[in-house]
A and B are shown apart, each in its own frame.
Chain A
Amino acid sequence: MKGKEGALLFNVEQSQNVEQSRKFACEKPLMEQLEIMEEYTAVHRSMLDSSKEEREVACLKVIFPRLLRTIQDQDLFAGRLDFLPVGFGTVTSVGGVGHYCVFRKLRTFQNELPEEERHRVDALYEYWLDHDLKTQYNKEVLTPDTIGMFIDCNYPMIATARLSGMMLDYPKLLANGIGGIRKMLQDKLSCDPENKFHKAGLECLEIFVSCAESLRQDALRQMDTCTEERRPELQRIMDGLETVKEEPPRTFHEALQLFWLYALLAGVINYGRLDDYLGPYLAADLREGRLTDEDAYRYMKCLWTMIENRRTTVNGRVIVGGRGRKHPEDADVFLHYAMRVCKDTRYVEPQFTLRFDRNTSEQIWDEALDAIGAGATYPTLYNDDVNIPAVEYGMRVDEKTAEQYVPFGCTEFVIQGQSTGTPNICINLLKILTIYMNGGVDPVDGVRKDGGVPIKPLEEYVSFDDFYDGYKMLLDHYLDLSVKAQYHSYEVMNRNVAFLFTSLMVDDCIERGKALLDGGIRYLGGTNETYGNINASDSLWAVNDLVFRKKKYTLRHLHDAVLADFKGYDDVLQDCLACDKYGNDLDTADGMANDLYEFVAKGVRQRGIDIGMQYFLIVISNNQLNSDWGNRTAASPDGRRAFMYMNPANNPQGGANRNGPTAMLNSLARFDARYHAGSVQNIKFSPGMFNGNRELIKALFRTYFDRGGCHLMVTIVDRGQLEDAMEHPEKYPDLIVRVAGFSAVFVELPRNIQEELLSRVLYD
């Protein structure tokens, strides 16, 4: 095993995603888990020569319904799922991608086994080194110096294969039911009986049915021992499961059950516009007396809890409001309950998201600000007036299609049920700048990472534009790498898997008889997460200002200071820090930031079009990678010290914005949203400021959104509270903060992330 691993450029056991939330332990005994993984592996091995569709179905049958968890006493509808270190999935946050092995977790699992059984895991480990989808991708794409694996912060760019952010066409599922979908597939097969996708699709529906039946049996068993109050709930669960095996749902309960179980089996962890999809069922039940107000609230709370319990850290998007809803009035019924539950529960997931436009009612605004003001960090706010036209242009779709945009994960947009948008690339613009200034060598580890792009000695740059052009050349190289690596991730995934459950519920897979990455998806899109944007542009501005405009230092002298992490160069550091910074509504630094943004964003977009994708767009989203990657990035001319966190998303570096919230928001609103597929904006207020000046805060937000602000997410904390929580974590078990594209319990975050959050300006 060692020999084989040694030949790889990467460590397969490295953590491959951001995982802050603690997951539930698997319900099954260890030996049974081992047996399931062995069986899964054996089936996979035996079907290596079969089609990917047939192999996928056979493997899914090993884990479903077996990995379903017991229905919990508080569950009003059914469906919880376990994951093993080996199995099938679509994303890293739950399970893994395609036929996966999470080697790190498999190793941990092995160590929990009795000594004499551990060798059985070695055999699995060995097999999956050759067959784990992501490992295959890594072998084909990673390089020793330029492209690292998720999440290796020593590289300027990291790449992965995953299918994040799929949002399914639930209206199709709900309108047709499993029986209706089955009929569609059968009709297709009557014309083309050998179509592998349609055949496998039918088998998936049977897997769905067997899972529904398995859960029904579980509920039936629980009837024997349950309390009298619980009995009718279990009966409703059983009846609902029986219905959704075949029929379209008739009630809110059945609709929730069908939607939820399907999402669970598909492995999708973002849910989309549930107000529009489920609202009509909820509203009808309330109208016709099947549900009381209290029942509705309990169902909604149960949905919130089920989503929270999946613990994906950065996903769980539920979107309400906005243009393009088919049932806006019924959807608002759902919305109002969701607002209440969000405010009361203060869970870190779901990532509750409000889309709004100029016509959004005052009542909805007040509910949203109440929830935010209570410290929920939700809803996050997305401005349709800006985003719909932006999506229309960026993704090259018509307005009606663009109206169905939904943010997933940390903010990336997809078109619900119609596009892929997975961010399989992250790129660190600041690290690339530090490499560029250092003649192609990363000052952090002395490794050359210029990819062969020629870089002039610093003495030869005659103007700022000359200097900037050289940086752009290196960026161009990385942007080239990024689009190829993204595209290749689709090829590797398509070679191995069909993502059947997902494919069945996105356009136009059934129509075309193809899995989504096989030509089935209507819009093949993707996203590229950019990091260190603002540190890079502030650094460029400092170079321009100090070297070329004021001629205070030579480029070499400035670089020497940066390389020394400003030790012995205190005067240079002070000058660097005193340069204009983005976030203060200054044309100098903001102009630089916008110029760099447009260069990168347009460059990525054009490359996506050229390679044949519907869209490939940057997202300035950011989970906690701005901190982790900053910890492996050298000092920079903006005065940022070596290994310090980088700026979050397209917010200023913590503390750099000194002109108050209007100035910061003016800076934020500057980027043209047409060139990105999501950009998140943090703002932090004290409760006194936010709740004590509601009308002014409203005016502040409205003005920002009128100016072209695309998004805002708000954290409410008292001055000194975060500092105190770092000292006395036991006092703050439920202090929720917005990190960037996700929320978290502050005291559960690692210290480096806490420090970055602390550095952000609080408006008090």
Chain B
Amino acid sequence: MTDLRVSNIERFAIKDGPGIRTVVFLQGCPLHCPWCANPETRFMSHEKVKVIPVDELLSLIMRDADYYRNSGGGLTVSGGEPLLQYEALAELLRRAKECGLHTAVETSGQATKTAFKACLPYVDLWLFDVKSTDPERLSTFTGADHHAVFGNLRLIAGEDPSKVVFRMPCIPGFNLCDEHFDSVFALAESLGIRRLDVLPYHTLGVAKYARLGIEYKYDGYSSLEPDVLYPYVRKGHDRGLDINL
């Protein structure tokens, strides 16, 4: 029996892929983005983690199958970094495809090529985080390995770029500048990726840090108002990208 370590399940999710979806948040993340809104998903072990067999998880997901069908929705797996549990994840995705579900995976890109290759056949949509294109900055702030992340991006985009959406967390003090947006737009264009979601920084997760007994190190910024991002979005539009805020 294959199990998944699940931190949360959100039904009627309407922001993580098309239609009405169920999002399964998997536990564990190799990164340590200081602004992270879900710090509880970072550790592989945590008191609230539920260990759920794939079978059981799938039957729970299927309880809303007709909502997905009628709305063009489906299953999204997020995290944490879901590909950390790639064997069970691939199993879940494979079974979900057998059930006719549309599948999406949201990833930081920080996982092995083996993990991506295992999941690739069963994913209809990749929600791929692009935090920074600058290797050093990326590594310093988040602990991510630029080479691995963008290697994986090229792997999945090489397969079918229409199945990839960039997710751009916009973090003041980190990547809120023309240079960053320009380079991400250029990256998208070079890979044939048309769709980008802009995710403004928010502080809704800050209280979780205190509850977990960890320090919130990204102090000093308030949640971003969308109008700050309009100029960047406009730039994307002007380049013919499908960019959503």
Give the B-binding residues of A (Cβ under 8 A). 585, 659-663, 666, 693, 695-696, 699-700, 702-703, 706-707, 763
Known contacts A662-B11, A662-B12; A699 and B19 CB within 8 A of each other: yes
Question: Please, which residue of chain A has its CB at the minimum distance from the CB of B22?
Answer: A662
Please indicate the chain B residues that have their CB under 8 angstroms from the CB of A706 in the complex: 66, 70
Q: Verify A703–B67 contact, CB threshold 8 A.
A: yes
Task: Tell me the nearest residue of chain A to B63, going by C-beta.
Answer: A585
Whether B63 lies near A696 (C-beta < 8 A) is no
In the complex, are the beta carbons of B10 and A703 less than 8 A apart?
no
Do A660 and B12 have beta carbons less than 8 Å apart? yes
Q: Note all chain A residues with C-beta closer than 8 A to B19.
A: 696, 699
When the two chains form their complex, are residues A699 and B63 in contact, meaning their CB atoms are under 8 A apart?
A: no
Known contacts: A666-B63, A706-B66, A707-B66. The answer to whether A699 contacts B71 by CB under 8 A is yes
For B70, give its contact among A660, A666, A693, A699 (CB under 8 Å).
Answer: A699
CB-CB < 8 A to B11: which residues of A? 659-660, 662-663
Interface string of B66-92 (1 = CB under 8 A from A): 110111010000000000000000000
Task: Identify 14 new A-B residue pairs, CB closer than 8 A, beyond the known A699-B19, A700-B67.
Answer: A660-B10, A660-B11, A662-B11, A663-B11, A663-B12, A663-B63, A663-B64, A696-B14, A696-B71, A699-B67, A699-B73, A703-B71, A707-B66, A763-B12
Which B residue sits closest to A763, measured CB to CB? B12
- Taking the closest CB of chain B, its distance from the CB of A705, in whole angstroms, is 10
CA distance A696 to B14 in the complex (A): 8
In the assembled complex, B188 has its CB within 8 A of some CB on chain A:
no
- Within B33-86, the residues touching A (CB, 8 Å) are 63-64, 66-67, 69-71, 73
Q: Is the CB of B10 within 8 A of A700?
A: no
Q: B67: which A residues are within 8 A, CB to CB?
A: 662, 699-700, 703
| Nearest CB on B from A703, distance (A) | 5
Residues of B within 8 A of A666 (CB): 63-64
Q: In the assembly, what is the distance between CA of A693 and CA of B12, in Å?
A: 12
Judged by a CB distance under 8 angstroms, whether B20 is at the interface is yes
Alpha-carbon distance between A662 and B70 when the two chains are bound, in angstroms? 13
Interface SS of chain A? helix
| Complex contacts, A702 vs chain B, CB 8 Å | 70
Q: How far is the CA of A135 from the CA of B19 in the complex (A)?
A: 58
- By beta carbon, the residue of chain B nearest A704 is B67
* Residues in chain B near residue A663, CB distance under 8 A: 11-12, 63-64
Give A700 Cβ to nearest chain B Cβ, in Å.
6
Known: A695-B71, A696-B19. A703 touches B14 (CB 8 A): no
Cα distance A661–B67 in the bound complex, in angstroms: 11
Question: In the docked arrangement, what's the CA distance between A706 and B71, Å?
Answer: 13
Docked Cα-Cα span, A696 to B11, in Å, equals 13
A699 CA to B73 CA in the complex, in Å? 10
Contacts of A699 in B (CB 8 A): 19-20, 67, 70-71, 73
Of the A-B pairs whose beta carbons lie under 8 Å apart in the complex, a sample of 30, sorted by A's number, is A659-B11, A660-B11, A661-B12, A662-B20, A662-B63, A662-B64, A662-B67, A663-B12, A663-B63, A663-B64, A666-B63, A666-B64, A693-B14, A696-B19, A696-B20, A696-B71, A699-B19, A699-B67, A699-B71, A699-B73, A700-B67, A700-B71, A702-B70, A703-B66, A703-B67, A703-B69, A703-B70, A703-B71, A706-B66, A763-B12
Q: Which residues of A contact B71 (CB under 8 A)?
A: 695-696, 699-700, 703
Give per-residue flags for B1-44: 1 if the beta carbon is below 8 A from chain A beta carbons, else 0.
Answer: 00000000011101000011000000000000000000000000
* Complexed CA–CA distance, A595 and B70 (Å): 30
Residue of B nearest to A701 (CB): B70
Quick one: closest A residue to B69, CB to CB? A703
The 3 closest A-B pairs by CB, nearest first: A699-B71, A660-B12, A660-B11
Within 8 A of A (CB), among B114-167: none
State the CA gap A763–B20 with chains docked (Å).
14
- Nearest CB of chain B from residue A594's CB, rounded to whole Å: 16
A659 → B minimal CB distance (Å): 5
